[in-house]
A = this chain, B = another copy of it.
Amino acid sequence: MSLHSHTKENYLKTLYLMSIDKDNVSINELAQKLGLKMPTVTSMMQKLAADRLVKYEKYKPIHLTEKGKKEAGLIIRKHRLTEMFLVEVMKFGWEEVHDIAEQIEHINSPVFFKKMDEMLGFPEHDPHGSPIPDRTGNIKQAVRHPLCDFNSGESVVITGLARSEDDFLKFLNRKNIGLGTILNIIEKEEYDGSMRLKHGKRELLLSRPVCEELFAEIAAGT
């Protein structure tokens, strides 16, 4: 039953997450993301290919195999379950949990994560709105709509984030925006794409880049 090194697990997870946005991941991009040099990554790809976790051909983009996707999915599952546990059970802020989860995702103990899952009532999303893969490592990837795609007059609920770096999360904390926050779109500014919104009783202005990184849905009952 599986068991790879901490190092290999990080390669798999990173590769999986990168493959969601861009379906052609290069050695160079992966090296950048992992903070490693290209030859290091090339060498690891050769090893992961030998493990049948990636499909690798010289000078070609890298792809995970089905086996690789499953392994990656299970690590991401542990990461996201952990983040949820840290927020819901241990009462950490959503901006504090990623670095801890980055370590706990490598713990080898099915019963530990099973217990987390139970305590949380089998959550389907992490504290940043990302889907939690199922016990087989499979991710149910829903279509997500950036806030900037909605129109004035619409009432939307925030359901996810494109990035969860903690500076962004702290920014959202200051603006009192979280998952489930309901926003009414007052106006979209033509010139710079910023949006004027009603948040409860207050009025709020969000810049275009921020609106691109917030996912939303039409609020229920509107």
Contact = CB atoms under 8 A, between A and B. Distances in A.
Nearest to A103: B107
A115 interface: yes
Interface residues of A, number: 18
A119 B90 contact: yes
Given A90-B115, A90-B119, A103 B108 contact: yes
Report copies per complex: 2
A109 interface: yes
A116 B92 CA distance: 11
A102 to B, nearest CB: 10
B96 A100 contact: no
Interface in A69-101: 86, 89-92, 96, 99-100
Interface of A: 86, 89-92, 96, 99-100, 103-104, 107-109, 111-112, 115-116, 119
